[in-house]
Amino acid sequence: MYECTLSEAPSRSHATLQGIAMSSTPAARRRRDPEARRREILAAAAELIIETGAAAVTHRAIAARAEVPLGSTTQYFSSIDELREAALQQLATEIDHELEKVKSYVADIETAPERIVAELSEFLCDSRAVQAEIALTTAGTTDPRLRELALRWGDRLTDMLAEQIGRTRATAISVYLDGATIHAGLHDTPLGAVELAATIRALATMPLPE
């Protein structure tokens, strides 16, 4: 069963963003490609949000990370809030892709939770993915405008599971996984697959009050 020590290796989504942010495209060509520059700014903002949190991100820090003139950030985004929100949206989309991997295993959650746990363990072992989810959660707790974005992963997972095991059990699993994500962000090693599988099986089959 999947086990790990929390890795600093970049995820597939991170590799894509890194490729955008560290593109070898000459500066002159990038100036003629506004969309490429906008993507570079967004990628830089997303990485800084993961590293420092959304509230600490500034136009100057983003421009330095993206290696673009400071004025470029305000050229493409009218305010730092708009830029932060767009970067958080990009991180949420990455997490949506991870959730799609789980979807095909939902039907087996009561009898063979190890299948879904293998995917969840891979997510919890990806330090960047974990920090991205924590950054979204933190942003949603401090900025009501971002709350829906922060809730999207948990709400989608709950809806997926509810079709199989009912909303009460699905909510319990979703809340437990929120805690497992925070745990992974605070510890060198996330919860093991055996622990995850045992808890998820127990929650998926727990008796409900009549």
In tens, the pLDDT along 138-167 reads 999 998 989 998 999 999 999 999 999 999
pLDDT (tens place) for every residue of the chain, 210 residues total: 455 754 444 454 454 444 444 444 445 445 567 888 999 999 999 999 999 999 889 999 999 999 999 888 999 999 999 999 999 999 999 888 888 888 888 888 888 888 899 999 999 999 999 999 999 999 999 989 899 989 999 999 999 999 999 999 999 999 999 999 999 999 999 999 999 999 999 999 999 987
Question: Would you say 32 and 14 are in contact if contact means Cβ atoms under 8 Å apart?
Answer: no
Q: What is the pLDDT at residue 20? A: 42
pLDDT (0 to 100) of residue 202: 95
CATH of domain 12-204: 1.10.357.10
Structure confidence at residue 5 (pLDDT) = 52
pLDDT at position 22 is: 44
Domain boundaries, the chain: 12-204
